[in-house]
Chains A and B, each alone.
Chain A
Amino acid sequence: MAEAEDLDQWFYRPPKTDAQRLGIVVGGSLSKGLDVKLDPRSVVIEGLAVGRYVVIHGARTGRRFFGLITDIVLDNTNPLIEKTPPDTSDPFMAEVYAGTSTFGRLHVSPMLVLEEGAKEPKPVKTVPEHFSVVYTATEEDVNQVFGQEDATHFKIGEPLDMEGIPVSLDLKKFVERSSGVFGKSGTGKTFLTRMLLAGIIQQDVAVNLVFDMHNEYGWKSQGEGGYEVKGLRQLFPTGRVAVVTLDTESSRRRGSKVDFEVEIGYEQIEPEDVDMLRDLLGLTDVQANALYFLRRRLGRDWIAKLLAEDEIAEEIESIVDQGSLHPGTLGAIQRKLGIFRRFAFLKPGLETNVVQRILDHLSKGISVVIEFGRYGNSLEAYILVANFLTRRIHEEYVKRKEAALGRTADEPRPLVITIEEAHKFLDPLISRQTVFGTIARELRKYNVTLLIVDQRPSGIDEEVMSQIGTRVTCLLDNEADIRAVFSGVSGAGALREVLARLDTRQQALILGHAVPMPVVVKTRDYQSLYAALAQGDGKAPEEVLKRNKAILRGEGEFEGFD
């Protein structure tokens, strides 16, 4: 026994593991990644895939290096074999040549290192030595890296080719900084976003404000397969989600259960809110600047006065008479603001303060989903409302946070604002002026972060993109979009191959703040999400059964089954 231990000191004995041995490290570098020669007999190259996890056991230090397969190569010992391939129709010849003269090679990007006996993996600063053995990652490895599902870790899916092994996202970190969900249209962005939002609500790490352009998050929506998918309000029937709408009729038609209607008074609109629409309305610089002047001169009901068709306000006449504003400019502004008349949610003389109502919900920890109904097709309405509400809510958060710093109030609940078509808000030309650009840049300073959902990340200001903490990316194939997603990520080159080869459905690459290393996941399906949420609500099954029975008998108020 003692002799055996002595021998162990001199000869490396690979640790016992049920992982499959893939091969050995034969070269590479920290910056460019490692080359791994595949074991010819045991590994079938066609059974591997980019994006898969591997673990490299450092031979002498006992360290374990976690890496990601970023490329798979066919290699040979003699290039002449490509010119004169052997006769492999003979099984004997094929068996002899496979893995000897010709063999497979993997390119592995090392990401994390786990010291012997340590629990927390650290970013990799060196490489394993020559001929270190490479294994597939096991459930234990994945758990060690991503942490098991717990109070702040939310299962988002399974690593590629590792069925049954959960990958968890650290939601606390996810909401700490602004995050993004990117991907071509039809690759599952909405599904992923809904799942992330459900996770955030379930784990209670933040409260959400969702600008639901296409009415997909609140009550229900149609899945890609044509089947009906429950929205957040149905997933959390206990009142943790409120759905509000800009278009009651559309919500009623869709059978959506709505908490209240969003109405904005003309008097509440400030020139800054309209300025955001500068490009969409085609306002020139002169016209945009005139807005501020008009607000100053016309007072709170400046919009109502500008839009009034029957009687022209005295102030307007005097402005024109005094020559303070060119009549052409004024006319253009009035014409362009005319679009507001088509927005039924904008009303003159309204006293209710929708911002306060939403803020009250948020302070109580109730997430708010704003359905746009038919206005979802109007980018002007979407940007106006999103900007209008966000600017005021952000201001309030800044105040509350400052009060908390001055120890006169409690810290405001972390808030995640979800916006779709984010490049319209975060375009390089306007992102510096809009509140969304500010929120993305100031990180978690005021407990407000963004969840950006977009299919054209290249349209988003680079400075904002570099501040995005966690990027969840479905398939992208436009080169500029891929580049944008990886901006500010070190060692991104190798990940490009992975991203460009994701499946069109149910696969995503997650990288950034909330995951210790980039991970390609097969996202979990609805069934598993529903099941997890039903369990996670903390109610005993008997209680749930009793309640559901009561609903079926018509005794309880129906808010959806648990």
Chain B
Amino acid sequence: MSTEPVMHQHIGRVLNASTTRFTAGCRVPLSALPTFGALARVNAQGGRCQVYGMIYDIYVDDDPLVRQLASLPEPDEEIIQDQLRNRHIPVEISLLVVGHRLEGRILHSLPPQPPLSLDKVYLCDEAELVEFTSAFDYFRLVLAADQVPREELLAAHLRLAAGARGAEGRDFRVEAGRELARLLGGNLVLLDGVLRRIRP
């Protein structure tokens, strides 16, 4: 699979972190950037615990050179390609903490400690994504998060997780949808929004 090399290489390093969310600076080329809603993992507590984050924002910042290049009428294609591959400042990925792994067990709750600066961030492969999404307790962490596009985030995430299950994807969508229906009984607008986005 084309994503295979990415699995075992980190996609970036932690820029700042708290127990509820963290930001990573991404060094990979833009073509290999992880997608919105994907699940990533980073070590914490010196490797005793792995923190899982769901990507809720990807921010591409500018720098003076980019500004200058942008102001040129027709910049050289070579320069643009060089800029894309060797950026001065990283692409920032914001992740919402949705769980952690302690002593081998996945827990859908906040980790004891956040990851530290410059810890390596890895993208979860399909097997790990399926493992993490075999229960839905992390929905609460997503639904409780402020300043996060919850509706879009959950929908994007569930589409990825369903895709990772192949033929069983539909059953997964139904199960996830039913769990959301239980959690969002009081907010039918949000529920309907997510369900419309995840229907097969």
A93's partner among B182, B186, B188, B199 (CB-CB below 8 A) is B199
Find chain B residues with CB under 8 A from A84 CB: 188
Find chain B residues with CB under 8 A from A93 CB: 195, 199
**Residue B5 lies at the interface, judged by CB distance under 8 Å to chain A:** no
Binds B, one of A23-31, A74-82, A445-453, A515-523: A74-82
Find chain B residues with CB under 8 A from A101 CB: 181, 185, 188, 191
Contacts across chains A and B counted by CB atoms under 8 Å: 41
**Residue A95 lies at the interface, judged by CB distance under 8 Å to chain B:** yes
Whether B195 and A96, one on each chain, are in contact in the complex, defined by CB atoms closer than 8 angstroms, is: yes
Whether A92 and B185, one on each chain, are in contact in the complex, defined by CB atoms closer than 8 angstroms, is: no
Whole-angstrom distance between the alpha carbons of A81 and B185 in the complex?
9
Residue of B nearest to A95 (CB): B174
Whether A92 and B173, one on each chain, are in contact in the complex, defined by CB atoms closer than 8 angstroms, is: yes
**Residue A528 lies at the interface, judged by CB distance under 8 Å to chain B:** no
Whether B188 and A96, one on each chain, are in contact in the complex, defined by CB atoms closer than 8 angstroms, is: no
Whole-angstrom distance between the alpha carbons of A80 and B173 in the complex?
24
Whether B188 and A92, one on each chain, are in contact in the complex, defined by CB atoms closer than 8 angstroms, is: no
**Residue A228 lies at the interface, judged by CB distance under 8 Å to chain B:** no
**Residue B34 lies at the interface, judged by CB distance under 8 Å to chain A:** no
Find chain A residues with CB under 8 A from B188 CB: 78, 80-81, 84, 86, 101
**Residue B192 lies at the interface, judged by CB distance under 8 Å to chain A:** yes
B165-181 residues at the A interface, CB under 8 angstroms: 170, 173-174, 177-178, 180-181
Whole-angstrom distance between the alpha carbons of A95 and B198 in the complex?
13
Find chain A residues with CB under 8 A from B200 CB: 92
Whether B174 and A86, one on each chain, are in contact in the complex, defined by CB atoms closer than 8 angstroms, is: no
Whole-angstrom distance between the alpha carbons of A90 and B199 in the complex?
9
Whether B199 and A100, one on each chain, are in contact in the complex, defined by CB atoms closer than 8 angstroms, is: no
Whether B178 and A77, one on each chain, are in contact in the complex, defined by CB atoms closer than 8 angstroms, is: no
Find chain B residues with CB under 8 A from A92 CB: 170, 173-174, 177, 195, 199-200
Whether B186 and A99, one on each chain, are in contact in the complex, defined by CB atoms closer than 8 angstroms, is: no
B177's partner among A77, A78, A80, A96 (CB-CB below 8 A) is A96
Whole-angstrom distance between the alpha carbons of A101 and B186 in the complex?
9
A258-317 residues at the B interface, CB under 8 angstroms: none
B146-200 residues at the A interface, CB under 8 angstroms: 170, 173-174, 177-178, 180-182, 185-186, 188, 191-192, 195, 199-200
Whole-angstrom distance between the alpha carbons of A80 and B188 in the complex?
8
A48-99 residues at the B interface, CB under 8 angstroms: 77-78, 80-81, 84, 86, 90, 92-93, 95-97, 99
Given the known A-B contacts A86-B192, A90-B199, A101-B191, are A96 and B186 also in contact in the complex, defined by CB atoms under 8 Å? no
Residue of A nearest to B171 (CB): A95
Find chain B residues with CB under 8 A from A97 CB: 181
CB distance from A422 to the nearest CB of B (A): 54
Number of A residues, CB within 8 Å of B: 15
Whole-angstrom distance between the alpha carbons of A101 and B199 in the complex?
17
Whole-angstrom distance between the alpha carbons of A92 and B174 in the complex?
7
Whether A100 and B178, one on each chain, are in contact in the complex, defined by CB atoms closer than 8 angstroms, is: yes
Residue of B nearest to A92 (CB): B199
Most chain B beta carbons < 10 A, residue from A77, A92, A95, A96: A96
CB distance from A272 to the nearest CB of B (A): 71
A100's partner among B170, B181, B192 (CB-CB below 8 A) is B181
Whole-angstrom distance between the alpha carbons of A99 and B195 in the complex?
15
Residue of B nearest to A85 (CB): B188
Whether A96 and B192, one on each chain, are in contact in the complex, defined by CB atoms closer than 8 angstroms, is: no
Whole-angstrom distance between the alpha carbons of A81 and B195 in the complex?
15
CB distance from B42 to the nearest CB of A (A): 33
Whether B195 and A100, one on each chain, are in contact in the complex, defined by CB atoms closer than 8 angstroms, is: no
Residue of A nearest to B181 (CB): A100
Whether B185 and A77, one on each chain, are in contact in the complex, defined by CB atoms closer than 8 angstroms, is: yes
Find chain A residues with CB under 8 A from B177 CB: 92, 95-96
Find chain B residues with CB under 8 A from A80 CB: 188
Whether B185 and A96, one on each chain, are in contact in the complex, defined by CB atoms closer than 8 angstroms, is: no
Residue of B nearest to A98 (CB): B178
A504-541 residues at the B interface, CB under 8 angstroms: none
Kindly supply a per-residue 1/0 record for chain B positions 12-48, scoring 1 wherever the CB is within 8 Å of any chain A CB and 0 otherwise.
0000000000000000000000000000000000000
Given the known A-B contacts A92-B173, A92-B200, are A99 and B178 also in contact in the complex, defined by CB atoms under 8 Å? yes
A113-153 residues at the B interface, CB under 8 angstroms: none
Find chain A residues with CB under 8 A from B192 CB: 86
CB distance from B139 to the nearest CB of A (A): 13
Residue of B nearest to A78 (CB): B185
Whole-angstrom distance between the alpha carbons of A91 and B178 in the complex?
13
CB distance from A75 to the nearest CB of B (A): 12
Find chain B residues with CB under 8 A from A77 CB: 182, 185-186
Residue of B nearest to A96 (CB): B177
Whole-angstrom distance between the alpha carbons of A100 and B191 in the complex?
12
Whether B174 and A100, one on each chain, are in contact in the complex, defined by CB atoms closer than 8 angstroms, is: no
Find chain A residues with CB under 8 A from B174 CB: 92, 95-96
CB distance from A98 to the nearest CB of B (A): 9
Whether A100 and B182, one on each chain, are in contact in the complex, defined by CB atoms closer than 8 angstroms, is: yes
Whole-angstrom distance between the alpha carbons of A335 and B63 in the complex?
124
Whole-angstrom distance between the alpha carbons of A95 and B182 in the complex?
13
Whole-angstrom distance between the alpha carbons of A99 and B174 in the complex?
12
CB distance from A273 to the nearest CB of B (A): 72
Whole-angstrom distance between the alpha carbons of A86 and B181 in the complex?
12
Residue of B nearest to A97 (CB): B181
Residue of B nearest to A102 (CB): B181
CB distance from B165 to the nearest CB of A (A): 15
CB distance from A85 to the nearest CB of B (A): 10
Whole-angstrom distance between the alpha carbons of A81 and B188 in the complex?
7
Find chain B residues with CB under 8 A from A95 CB: 174, 177-178
Find chain B residues with CB under 8 A from A81 CB: 188
Whole-angstrom distance between the alpha carbons of A99 and B200 in the complex?
20
Whole-angstrom distance between the alpha carbons of A195 and B185 in the complex?
53
Kindly supply a per-residue 1/0 record for chain A positions 378-406, scoring 1 wherever the CB is within 8 Å of any chain B CB and 0 otherwise.
00000000000000000000000000000
Additional A-B contact list (5), CB under 8 Å, known A93-B195, A100-B182, A101-B185 = A86-B192, A93-B199, A96-B178, A96-B181, A101-B191
Can you report 21 residue pairs joining A to B where beta carbons are below 8 Å apart? A77-B182, A77-B185, A78-B186, A80-B188, A92-B174, A92-B195, A92-B200, A93-B195, A95-B178, A96-B174, A96-B177, A96-B180, A96-B181, A97-B181, A100-B178, A100-B181, A100-B182, A100-B185, A101-B181, A101-B185, A101-B188
Q: Report, nearest first, the 7 A-B pairs whose CB atoms are least far apart.
A: A77-B185, A100-B181, A96-B177, A92-B199, A101-B181, A100-B178, A78-B185
